[in-house]
């Protein structure tokens, strides 16, 4: 190469790590001193992990924010689309004469195989290829039990995580991301049509969320300042802003779990109050995310097949009408309907309510958990291949360290306990806005129902309970007993 020839670029292949700070693949690319070409390839393949509608909304805004932040540091984001992203990256590497391709690792065995094949082919063509941990505190293979396998019990897993060296401190964002003099062609984001093209079902998302790295950092700051203290209690109350709301930012990698971990540690070190367990509880929630990724790694079919094989024989009663009533928040159980409507309106649902609606679908309605998983996949802005599947299996009782099947949430009692004033229900089920705290979780017990909504006509549209709770519970326990009567 003559001294005046331009240096070949290093491609940074972005997947679920759309940020500048603590982005090891990007930092390593900048450190080479070569121009850097960040690339996002939209996977057009028809496969189960193709992003759902709500995730596509988030992706659009996340890519917009990332491209803008990158530009401020001199870089340009290139967008491409195709059915085989790995092949697209290889073709681009040849097209621009890349020195190397760097990326953040994924953890599903099928994805790992794809990435390994890309690495091999790039290597054979004399192009460097390196992968980095961009999205976890502890990679699955770093935390194993004494026989070298994965942990099945969360407390053991998390204890093992905490006994390893702390995750390294986060890296700062690079001051500049030098772009190559000649940029390859890329797509226009608008042409991808990631936003709703017909009725704007996502109009409620914008007021709630600020996708992108700045939005994630602001949320973390607010959480540490206002909500970490008291998190242990407030996290279970859906009418409060008691949790961080960081899940979609984590999902798209706009913030890394390491940044969160160290920010919490720093906050504790500088806070003028003795540790009260709130931070440990919060970090353990991040631990559940890590545990879910470990499960995904060792059980790639986790979104389709029960981890406990006995559950493959479970006598479900698939019923499209029942599933549809649940999806639309028209079951007649206010806390369930409030949750499903919060999900539709904002792309997010409170964790306590996720557990209640999932239990109701699986146990009272005897619908296969996979149907709920797919609906969440399509409607959650934080839809995550590991956490969603692992959580559905947790509720179904078929997962690792799962809640036993016979623990069936009663939506009325759950509502009374965790939404005692009914504020959450009133917010999301306006038909019931006029009911007081004694009847709001069981509106069928009041004669006043026709006049309790924001309008009489509206109140009349609220359905009667679609199933009697005791009947549903007994039916679920009988179905479970048919798997030999024992919790497998
Ligand atoms: C049926 C069901 C489906 C779920 N699907 C998803 C999903 O697709 N994506 C997702 O991120 N979470 C999922 N969860 C877990 C949990 O509900 C959300 O992570 C949480 O509500 C996000 O809100 P937050 O960021 O305010 O949480 P916080 O309470 O602030 O917790 C901080 C972070 O810890 C992680 N976390 C918290 N709880 C869990 C958990 N139980 N399992 C795994 N990680 C957790 C999340 O990354 C979260 O952002 C699901 C739970 C259930 C019961």
Token duo for residue 341: 């409507």
Instruction: Return the pLDDT at 472.
Output: 97
H or E segment and range at residue 132: strand 128-132
Q: For residues 161 and 168, is the Cβ–Cβ distance under 8 A?
A: no
Does residue 133 carry a catalytic annotation?
no
Alpha-carbon span 186 to 192, nearest angstrom: 12
Question: What pLDDT score does 459 carry?
Answer: 61
- Cβ(380) – ligand 1 distance below 6 Å: yes
pLDDT at residue 191, as a whole number:
97
The pLDDT of residue 104 is 98
Q: Name residue, tokens 């609906």.
A: 375
From 92, 73, 265, 95, select the one nearest 167 (Cα to Cα).
Answer: 265
| Tens-digit pLDDT profile for residues 378-414 | 999 999 999 999 999 999 999 988 888 889 999 999 9
Indicate whether residue 15 lines ligand 1 (CB < 6 A): no
* Closest CA relative to residue 364, chosen from 322, 403, 328: 322
Which residue is catalytic, options 13, 158, 288, 344?
Answer: 288
Active-site annotation holder among 57, 261, 326, 392: 392
Instruction: Report pLDDT for 276.
Output: 80
What's the whole-number average pLDDT of the chain?
A: 94
Residue 11 has φ and ψ, to the nearest 5°, of -85, 135
Question: What pLDDT was estimated at residue 273?
Answer: 73
Q: Are 17 and 135 in contact (CB under 8 A)?
A: yes
pLDDT in tens, 1-35: 555 789 999 999 999 999 999 999 999 999 999 99
Confidence of residue 148 (pLDDT cuts 50, 70, 90): confident
State whether the beta carbon of 381 lies less than 6 angstroms from ligand 1: no
pLDDT band for 457, please (50, 70, 90 cuts).
low
Does any ligand 1 atom lie closer than 6 A to the CB of residue 387? yes
Residue nearest to atom 44 of ligand 1 (CA): 289
User: Quick one: which of 286, 328, 347 has its CA closest to 59?
Assistant: 347
pLDDT of residue 49: 82
What's the pLDDT score for residue 46?
Answer: 77
pLDDT in tens, 171-194: 999 999 999 999 999 999 999 999
Looking at the predicted structure, is the pLDDT value of residue 278 above 50? yes
In the reported structure, the alpha carbon of residue 247 is separated from the centroid of ligand 1 by a whole-number distance in angstroms of: 6
pLDDT, tens digit, for every residue of 94-105? Answer: 999 999 999 999
CB < 8 Å & 24+ apart, contacts of 90-95:
90/118, 90/121, 90/122, 90/125, 92/11, 92/39, 92/184, 93/11, 93/122, 93/125, 93/127, 94/125, 94/127, 95/184
Is the predicted pLDDT of residue 452 greater than 70, yes or no?
Answer: no
Catalytic residue among 158, 369, 375, 394: 369
User: Which domains does the chain carry?
Assistant: 10-135 (3.40.50.620), 136-170+212-298 (1.25.40.80), 309-481 (1.10.579.10)
Classify 50 as helix, strand or coil: coil
392 is catalytic: yes
pLDDT digits (tens, 9 = 90+) for 263-274: 999 999 998 777
| Mean pLDDT to the nearest integer, 303-313 | 94
Q: Which pLDDT score is estimated for 458?
A: 58
Report the nearest-CA residue for atom 51 of ligand 1.
Answer: 391
Residue 252: pLDDT over 50: yes
Q: What is the pLDDT of residue 483?
A: 86
Q: Is the CB of 376 under 6 A from ligand 1?
A: yes
And the tokens for 195?
A: 């936003």
Atom of ligand 1 nearest to the CA of 247: 49
Which residue carries 């199933």 as its tokens? Answer: 467
Please give the structure tokens belonging to residue 278: 């709130």
Q: Which pLDDT score, from 0 to 100, does residue 487 have?
A: 46
Tell me the C-alpha distance between 478 and 486, whole Å.
11
Nearest to 282 by CA among 214, 351, 344: 351
Name the active-site residue from 139, 171, 192, 285. Answer: 285
Please state at what angle helix 278-298 crosses helix 154-162, rounded to 10 degrees: 110
Kindly report, residue by residue over 436-451, the tens digit of the pLDDT. 999 999 999 887 655 5
Q: Is 394 an active-site residue?
A: no
Q: What percent of the chain has a predicted confidence (pLDDT) above 70?
A: 96
The DSSP line for 143-177 is S--TTSS--SSHHHHHHHHHTSPPPPPPPPPPS--
Please compute the mean of the pLDDT values over residues 284-292 and round it to a whole number: 98
Q: Is residue 395 lining ligand 1, measured as CB closer than 6 Å?
A: yes
Measure the N-to-C terminal CA separation of the chain; round to a whole number of Å: 65
**369 catalytically annotated:** yes
What tens digit of pLDDT does each residue of 424-436 get? 999 999 999 999 9
Beta bridge partners of 421: none
* pLDDT score at 488: 40
Cβ(389) – ligand 1 distance below 6 Å: no
């Amino acid at each position: 190469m003559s001294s005046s020839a331009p240096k070949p670029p290093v491609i940074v292949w972005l997947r679920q790590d759309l940020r500048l700070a603590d982005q090891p693949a990007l930092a390593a690319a900048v450190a080479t001193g070569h121009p850097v070409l960040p690339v996002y390839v939209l996977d057009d393949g028809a496969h189960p992990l193709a992003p759902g509608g709500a995730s596509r909304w988030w992706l659009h805004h996340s890519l917009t924010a990332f491209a803008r932040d990158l530009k401020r540091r001199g870089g340009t984001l290139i967008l491409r689309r195709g059915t085989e992203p790995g092949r697209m990256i290889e073709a681009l590497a040849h097209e621009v004469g890349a020195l190397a391709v760097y990326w953040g690792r994924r953890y599903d065995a099928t994805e790992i195989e794809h990435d390994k094949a890309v690495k091999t082919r790039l290597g054979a063509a004399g192009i460097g290829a390196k992968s980095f941990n961009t999205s976890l505190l502890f990679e699955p293979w770093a935390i194993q039990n004494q026989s070298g396998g994965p942990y099945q019990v969360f407390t053991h897993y998390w204890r093992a995580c905490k006994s390893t060296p702390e995750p390294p401190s986060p890296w700062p964002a690079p001051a500049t991301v030098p772009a190559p003099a000649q940029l390859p062609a890329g797509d226009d984001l608008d042409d991808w049509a990631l936003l709703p093209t017909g009725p704007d079902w996502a109009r409620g998302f914008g007021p709630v969320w600020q996708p992108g790295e700045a939005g994630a950092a602001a949320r973390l700051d607010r959480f540490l300042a206002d909500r970490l203290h008291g998190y242990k209690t407030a996290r279970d109350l859906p009418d409060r802003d008691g949790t961080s709301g960081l899940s979609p930012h984590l999902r798209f990698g706009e913030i890394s779990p390491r940044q969160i971990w160290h920010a919490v540690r720093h906050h504790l070190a500088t806070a003028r109050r003795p540790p009260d367990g709130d931070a440990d509880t919060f970090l353990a929630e991040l631990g559940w995310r890590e545990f879910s990724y470990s499960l995904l790694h060792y059980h790639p079919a986790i979104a389709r097949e029960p981890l406990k094989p006995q559950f493959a024989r479970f006598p479900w009663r698939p019923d499209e009408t029942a599933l549809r009533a649940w999806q639309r928040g028209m079951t007649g159980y206010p806390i369930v309907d409030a949750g499903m409507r919060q999900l539709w309106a904002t792309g997010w649902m409170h964790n306590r309510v996720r557990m209640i609606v999932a239990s109701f679908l699986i146990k009272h309605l005897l619908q296969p958990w996979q149907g709920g998983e797919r609906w969440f996949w399509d409607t959650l802005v934080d839809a995550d291949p590991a956490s969603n599947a692992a959580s559905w299996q947790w509720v179904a009782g078929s997962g690792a360290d799962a809640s036993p099947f016979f623990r069936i949430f009663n939506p009325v009692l759950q509502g009374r306990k965790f939404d005692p004033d009914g504020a959450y229900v009133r917010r999301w089920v306006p038909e019931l806005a006029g009911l007081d705290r004694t009847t709001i979780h069981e509106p069928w017990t009041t004669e006043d129902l026709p006049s309790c909504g924001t309008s009489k006509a509206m109140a009349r549209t609220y359905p009667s309970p679609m199933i009697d709770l005791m009947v549903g519970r007994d039916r679920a326990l009988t179905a479970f007993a048919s798997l030999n009567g024992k919790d497998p």
